[in-house]
Amino acid sequence: MRLESQRILGWPDTVKYRIRMRNKPTVAEAVLWKQLKNKKLNGLRFRRQHGVGPYIADFYHAPTKTIIELDGEIHANPEVRKNDKEREEYLRGCSYSIIRFQNYRIFNDLNNVLKAILRAVLPPSGE
Protein backbone atom coordinates (compact mmCIF):
# COMPACT_ATOMS: atom_id res chain seq x y z
CA MET A 1 0.00 0.00 0.00
CA ARG A 2 1.59 3.25 -1.10
CA LEU A 3 0.56 6.37 0.78
CA GLU A 4 1.56 10.00 0.43
CA SER A 5 3.81 11.22 3.25
CA GLN A 6 1.17 13.70 4.43
CA ARG A 7 -1.19 10.80 5.14
CA ILE A 8 1.46 8.93 7.11
CA LEU A 9 2.52 11.80 9.35
CA GLY A 10 0.38 12.50 12.40
CA TRP A 11 -2.78 14.28 11.42
CA PRO A 12 -3.05 17.84 12.77
CA ASP A 13 -6.39 17.13 14.43
CA THR A 14 -4.69 14.61 16.74
CA VAL A 15 -2.14 17.09 18.17
CA LYS A 16 -4.22 18.26 21.14
CA TYR A 17 -5.17 14.70 22.01
CA ARG A 18 -1.53 13.52 21.80
CA ILE A 19 -0.44 16.33 24.12
CA ARG A 20 -3.20 15.46 26.58
CA MET A 21 -2.15 11.79 26.47
CA ARG A 22 1.49 12.75 27.13
CA ASN A 23 0.43 14.80 30.12
CA LYS A 24 -1.81 12.07 31.56
CA PRO A 25 -0.21 8.71 30.75
CA THR A 26 -1.57 5.44 32.05
CA VAL A 27 0.41 3.95 34.93
CA ALA A 28 1.89 1.31 32.60
CA GLU A 29 2.94 3.99 30.08
CA ALA A 30 4.58 6.03 32.84
CA VAL A 31 6.52 3.00 34.09
CA LEU A 32 7.77 2.09 30.60
CA TRP A 33 8.53 5.70 29.68
CA LYS A 34 10.75 5.99 32.76
CA GLN A 35 12.89 3.20 31.23
CA LEU A 36 12.88 4.59 27.66
CA LYS A 37 13.17 8.37 28.06
CA ASN A 38 16.45 10.24 27.70
CA LYS A 39 17.99 7.33 25.78
CA LYS A 40 18.13 5.16 28.93
CA LEU A 41 17.59 1.94 27.00
CA ASN A 42 20.87 1.20 25.24
CA GLY A 43 21.23 4.82 24.08
CA LEU A 44 18.15 4.52 21.84
CA ARG A 45 15.74 7.41 21.34
CA PHE A 46 12.03 6.74 21.64
CA ARG A 47 9.08 9.07 21.25
CA ARG A 48 5.80 8.74 23.08
CA GLN A 49 2.31 9.45 21.84
CA HIS A 50 3.62 9.77 18.30
CA GLY A 51 1.11 10.49 15.54
CA VAL A 52 0.99 8.21 12.51
CA GLY A 53 -1.82 9.16 10.14
CA PRO A 54 -5.06 9.11 12.12
CA TYR A 55 -3.49 6.96 14.86
CA ILE A 56 -1.37 7.59 17.93
CA ALA A 57 1.41 5.18 18.86
CA ASP A 58 2.14 4.76 22.57
CA PHE A 59 5.89 4.66 21.86
CA TYR A 60 7.87 4.91 18.65
CA HIS A 61 11.44 4.19 17.55
CA ALA A 62 11.95 6.19 14.35
CA PRO A 63 15.10 4.60 12.85
CA THR A 64 13.42 1.18 12.69
CA LYS A 65 9.81 2.42 12.32
CA THR A 66 8.88 0.29 15.33
CA ILE A 67 5.74 1.07 17.29
CA ILE A 68 5.33 -0.19 20.85
CA GLU A 69 1.77 -0.54 22.11
CA LEU A 70 0.62 -1.19 25.66
CA ASP A 71 -2.72 -2.89 26.04
CA GLY A 72 -4.91 -2.65 29.11
CA GLU A 73 -8.06 -4.61 29.86
CA ILE A 74 -10.11 -2.56 27.38
CA HIS A 75 -8.29 -4.32 24.53
CA ALA A 76 -10.12 -7.56 25.40
CA ASN A 77 -13.34 -5.92 24.18
CA PRO A 78 -14.30 -7.35 20.74
CA GLU A 79 -14.96 -3.89 19.24
CA VAL A 80 -11.60 -2.59 20.48
CA ARG A 81 -9.86 -5.70 19.12
CA LYS A 82 -11.50 -5.08 15.75
CA ASN A 83 -10.25 -1.47 15.80
CA ASP A 84 -6.77 -2.66 16.84
CA LYS A 85 -6.71 -5.04 13.86
CA GLU A 86 -7.70 -2.28 11.40
CA ARG A 87 -5.12 0.03 12.95
CA GLU A 88 -2.38 -2.59 12.66
CA GLU A 89 -3.26 -3.26 9.01
CA TYR A 90 -2.96 0.46 8.26
CA LEU A 91 0.34 0.82 10.11
CA ARG A 92 1.90 -2.32 8.63
CA GLY A 93 0.76 -1.07 5.21
CA CYS A 94 2.86 2.03 5.91
CA SER A 95 5.89 -0.19 6.69
CA TYR A 96 5.74 0.11 10.47
CA SER A 97 6.37 -2.86 12.71
CA ILE A 98 4.34 -3.20 15.88
CA ILE A 99 5.03 -4.94 19.15
CA ARG A 100 2.36 -5.20 21.83
CA PHE A 101 2.58 -5.82 25.54
CA GLN A 102 -0.20 -6.33 28.03
CA ASN A 103 -0.02 -3.81 30.87
CA TYR A 104 0.50 -6.56 33.45
CA ARG A 105 3.82 -7.42 31.77
CA ILE A 106 5.07 -3.88 32.39
CA PHE A 107 4.36 -4.36 36.10
CA ASN A 108 5.45 -7.99 36.46
CA ASP A 109 8.04 -8.68 33.76
CA LEU A 110 9.62 -5.33 32.85
CA ASN A 111 13.13 -6.70 32.27
CA ASN A 112 11.87 -9.15 29.66
CA VAL A 113 9.73 -6.44 28.05
CA LEU A 114 12.84 -4.26 27.70
CA LYS A 115 14.78 -7.20 26.22
CA ALA A 116 11.98 -7.79 23.70
CA ILE A 117 12.05 -4.10 22.72
CA LEU A 118 15.81 -4.29 22.20
CA ARG A 119 15.42 -7.42 20.03
CA ALA A 120 12.84 -5.57 17.94
CA VAL A 121 14.94 -2.46 17.30
CA LEU A 122 18.54 -3.71 17.26
CA PRO A 123 20.08 -5.76 14.46
CA PRO A 124 20.88 -9.37 15.36
CA SER A 125 24.31 -9.95 16.90
CA GLY A 126 27.05 -10.38 14.37
CA GLU A 127 25.77 -7.85 11.85
Dist CA 26 CA 2 (whole Å): 33
pLDDT, residue 62, reads 94
In terms of phi and psi (left: phi > 0; alpha: psi -120 to 50; beta: otherwise), the region of 126 is left
Task: State residue 37's pLDDT score.
Answer: 96
Domains, the chain, ranges and CATH? 5-115 (3.40.960.10)
DSSP H helical segments within the chain, as ranges?
5-8, 15-23, 27-36, 78-93, 103-108, 110-121
Q: What is the structure's pLDDT at 124?
A: 79
pLDDT tens digits, 44-62: 999 998 888 888 899 999 9
